[in-house]
Structure 1
Amino acid sequence: MQGLHLTADLHDCQCADFWLTEGTILLECLTRVVAVAKLNVVGQVAHHFPATPIGRGGVTVALLLAESHVCIHTWPEQGSVTLDIYVCNFGGDHSDAAKALQEALIALFAPRHVERNILHRGSITGHLV
């Protein structure tokens, strides 16, 4: 159950607009980046949100991984993105892959400001059932 959970809030993204609105393209890119990180996709979804009076609709893209998951949520009207990457380290340490994946995605969206969070999950001791 031990793992690494990385989140990042990306603000004032300077990427091309389609990265914030085209879930199919974003999903294809994410799948390639995950493969480069040597993580294994076991499921996927892309959901498009409708436009609102304040702007274009964003997307949520998620990959279910054998190692856990990666999700991207976009807010094109704000030029913002949130990233959520979790890898369990059962059977091997996937932490470096998660970190590389996060860096690749941050580079893709080219934010002017990034807020990062790191959570080390699970513990071998003290949680025996």
Structure 2
Amino acid sequence: MNALGRHVLAEVYGCSFEILNDIDRVEEIMVQAALKAGAEVREVVFHKFSPQGVSGVVVISESHLAIHTWPELGYAAVDVFTCGERVNPWDACNYMKEMFEAEHVEAREVTRGIIEPPQRTAVNI
């Protein structure tokens, strides 16, 4: 069975308030996570909320990385969706865990766009 992509959904706990509330730092970590995974960065959009929190997306040729932070809870919700075989979404997740100084991460991978191989019909010649 073949698939179009791999989508890692990560719950990131016990992170530094200062890091999760710093838009420039969150953006830098997310871009570097994409690059560490071997992705090609295309677009970057981040927003700082008041009184705290950051949301953003890094669009990559292979799909995207997205985040929303709750600094007051030390929590971030992270998605890493990659298409193709070249980029490993777990490399990005492991990098983010380290850089956000997370105490604990719960993550799962969802296979996206499952493509069945073509049916072959036996023909007697």
Q: Distance in 1 between matches of 2:6 and 2:29?
A: 22
Counterpart of 2:96 in structure 1 is 105
Counterpart of 1:65 in structure 2 is 60
Q: Distance in 2 between matches of 1:33 and 1:112?
A: 18
Counterpart of 2:121 in structure 1 is none
Matches within 5 A, 1:36-51: 36-51=36-51
Secondary structure at the residue paired with 1:25?
helix
Deviations 1:31-83 (A, max 9, x none): 233223220111111111111xxxxx100121011100001211011111111
Q: Which structure has the greater CA radius of gyration?
A: 2
TM-score by length of 1: 0.80
Q: Do the aligned partners of 1:4 and 1:95 also contact (CA within 8 Å) in 2?
A: no
1:94 lines up with 2:86 in the alignment: yes
Question: Runs of 4+ in structure 1 displaced over 2 angstroms?
Answer: 110-113
Deviations 1:76-119 (A, max 9, x none): 11111111000011xxx0353x1111100011122223211110
Question: Alignment partner for residue 8 of structure 1, among 6, 10, 20?
Answer: 10
Q: Distance in 1 between matches of 2:22 and 2:72?
A: 14
Q: Distance in 1 between matches of 2:35 and 2:12?
A: 23
Q: Do the aligned partners of 2:29 and 2:99 also contact (CA within 8 Å) in 1?
A: no
TM-score by length of 2: 0.82
Instruction: Give me the identity figure in percent.
Output: 28
Deviations 1:7-45 (A, max 9, x none): 1101222x3x33111112221232233223220111111
RMSD: 1.9
Count of matched residue positions in the alignment of Structure 1 and Structure 2? 116
